[in-house]
Copies of this chain bind each other. A is one copy, B any other.
Amino acid sequence: MPSVDTLNSPPEEYLRQHLDEVIELLNKQKLEEAVVHQQVMPHHDLVETLMHKQHQVAIKQKLDNLHTADIAYILESLPVDQRLIVWNLVESDLDGQILLDVSDAVRETLISSMDKSELLSATEQLDTDEIADLAPDLPDDVMQKLLQTLNDQNRQRLQSVLAYAEDSVAGLMDFGMVTIRADTTLGAVLRYLRQRGALPEHTDKLFVVDENNVLKGVLSLKRLVTNIPEQHVGAVMARDFVCFRLDDDAEEAARAFERYDLLSAPVVDEEHRLEGRLGIDAIVDLIRRKSDEERLAEAGLREDEDIFSGIWKSARNRWLWLAVNLITAFASTRVIGLFEDTIVKIVALASLMPIVAGIGGNTGNQTSMLIVRSLALGLITPSNMRRLIVKELAIGLLNGIVWGSVLGLLAYWLYANPDLGMVMAGATLLNLVVAAITGFSIPLVRYRMGLDPAIGTSVLLTAITDGMGFFIFLGLAKLFLDTAR
């Protein structure tokens, strides 16, 4: 494993520095080749080839000293043409690890530049659980050949992992397990480990199983090294430990890791037979990925964009959301059309109505965000749901009175029309109550229906608060102002 030298600079300064050096080398190469191209030199081709070689060697040397994760970062920061130049210079036995480290969008560009034999040799050195992670991006025939290179146990493991959903514990686990028996002594375990040599990455505990591979306990390396060698495993191992089933939800497992401060945990099947291991590294990746996905989804991006992916591809990534928003915006503004005669008479309504609609959207989103969050943390129970709803309604009413008064006074001051002020105040109050009701109803109903309460809530909510805002405000205006003129 190439080294990481962060003793002398903060980690990201260190990273940025390497990126800058690679970019400089790439630019120099481009520039000098262009210069040679323009001059009519003797042995023109030879000079060009020599210089090219020289730069390639310099970049390669640079890369050979870097950690795979740092190379992944550099690849992600480069435009596609330069990215592929660097990718071809990477030591080929690091290819597999780097494919795992880069983002989905960048992985696609790298894989599409590789031929089948390259892909096969890059992936066949990976662990079974890592192959499973790459599986969705690999061409079918490469996957088939890959399966043939595996031994029976690993092929079975790979197939069973792929059979489970990606966001189940089985989709996240690895097979880096070292198993021991309860009736051996710690001294014997130490001898076995020394003989065995290197342990799987991130091993912090050994799994104690019986002859049927049924999990009996876990022995942390900590306990192994702090107890005397004559002790038996069974006397020292922990018998109460957190353990997951193959089909447990991965996000629940992540929250359990946080709650109980776990580093790793065993995964068992229905009969408590040891099937795999869940490590904190996979959990950290999951947490980051989920929070990324949610934030992208909130802005209406269907998937992560490689910052250098093509304009067409990027534009299409954003269109579904824009189309949905356009439809809802169109629907909610149709309400305005119903009141056109009123607007013509009192044109001030046109500049006030977006404010009533807007503040409804803002407060509604605050409510729904808190409900979504509380649902995600499992804090909402049937017994406290009513209290919560009453609280949000009360806040909606309170906000309605406060902001309704503010907006009413503002409208009165702007247009010197007390009736318009009253209508503005009343409409704001009503729309904020509507917003509170919508804000807790949408996520709760979606949750009850087994849908993700986070996704789509904001679009739907804004459509309702906009439409209702326009309707309430213009409706009240028609009732109380229109006839007065």
Contact with B along A67-94 (1 / 0, CB 8 A): 1011001001111000000000000000
Closest Cβ–Cβ distance, residue A393 to chain B (whole Å): 10
A167 interface hit (Cβ, 8 Å): no
Verify B224–A199 contact, CB threshold 8 A: no
Residue of B196, B354, B395 near A329 (CB, 8 A) is B354
- For the complex, what is the distance from the CA of A278 to the CA of B308, rounded to whole Å? 35
B residues less than 8 Å from A221 (CB atoms): 204, 221-222, 224-225
- For the complex, what is the distance from the CA of A196 to the CA of B357, rounded to whole Å? 66
B residues less than 8 Å from A78 (CB atoms): 384
- For the complex, what is the distance from the CA of A379 to the CA of B119, rounded to whole Å? 26
Verify B222–A203 contact, CB threshold 8 A: yes
Instruction: State the number of copies, please.
Output: 2
B residues less than 8 Å from A448 (CB atoms): none
Verify A10–B252 contact, CB threshold 8 A: yes
- For the complex, what is the distance from the CA of A315 to the CA of B403, rounded to whole Å? 11
Closest Cβ–Cβ distance, residue A395 to chain B (whole Å): 5
A363 interface hit (Cβ, 8 Å): yes
B residues less than 8 Å from A224 (CB atoms): 221, 225
Verify B6–A244 contact, CB threshold 8 A: yes
Q: Which one of A37-45, A47-55, A142-150, A365-373 is at the B interface?
A: A365-373
A388 interface hit (Cβ, 8 Å): yes
B residues less than 8 Å from A326 (CB atoms): 355, 359, 403, 406-407
Verify B245–A10 contact, CB threshold 8 A: yes
B residues less than 8 Å from A351 (CB atoms): 333-334, 336-337, 340
Verify B343–A348 contact, CB threshold 8 A: no
A108 interface hit (Cβ, 8 Å): no
- For the complex, what is the distance from the CA of A377 to the CA of B75, rounded to whole Å? 13
Verify B6–A242 contact, CB threshold 8 A: yes
- For the complex, what is the distance from the CA of A402 to the CA of B323, rounded to whole Å? 11
Closest Cβ–Cβ distance, residue A55 to chain B (whole Å): 17
Verify A4–B241 contact, CB threshold 8 A: yes
- For the complex of A and B, 6 pairs with smallest distance between CB atoms: A3-B240, A336-B351, A299-B369, A11-B256, A69-B259, A291-B291
18 A-B pairs (CB sep. < 8 Å): A20-B381, A27-B383, A193-B226, A194-B225, A204-B221, A221-B221, A257-B284, A263-B280, A291-B291, A307-B384, A307-B388, A308-B384, A318-B363, A318-B395, A322-B362, A322-B399, A325-B358, A333-B355
